[in-house]
């Protein structure tokens, strides 16, 4: 019984560690969006729009027309991230 409890405890700890690692894994697209877009926008904009990659790219170019300064590489990284994590087929993030 003690061995079983210990094994369950170890397994639970490993699952929590894996979940924490997944949440903190480096993501250049997310980091770029947070540093560049959150200056003016809240996360509601990204959660609510649910556009594909091309839609997000068009949105980013509209922001350039309003004064946003991004390189073509930054635009690609942000559009890829937003299209994947906030596209029409993306699963909504769990609310904490």
Domains recognised in the chain with CATH numbers: 27-85 (1.10.760.10)
d(CA 77, CA 15): 30
At 55, which helix (H) or strand (E)? helix 53-65
User: Quick one: pLDDT at residue 92?
Assistant: 72
d(CA 3, CA 7): 6
**What are the tens digits of pLDDT across the range 52-76?**
999 999 999 999 999 999 999 999 9
Percent of the chain residues past pLDDT 70, beyond the cut = 71
- Whole-prediction pTM: 0.68
Greater confidence (47 vs 30) lies with 30
């Amino acid at each position: 019984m003690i061995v079983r409890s210990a094994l369950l405890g170890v397994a639970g700890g490993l699952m929590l560690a894996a979940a924490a690692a997944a949440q903190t894994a480096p993501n250049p697209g997310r980091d770029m969006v947070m540093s560049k877009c959150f200056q003016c926008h809240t996360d509601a904009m990204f959660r609510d729009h649910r556009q594909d990659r091309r839609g997000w790219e068009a949105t980013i170019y509209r922001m350039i027309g309003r004064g946003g300064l991004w390189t073509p590489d930054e635009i690609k990284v942000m559009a890829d991230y937003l299209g994947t994590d906030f596209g029409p087929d993306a699963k909504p993030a769990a609310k904490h």
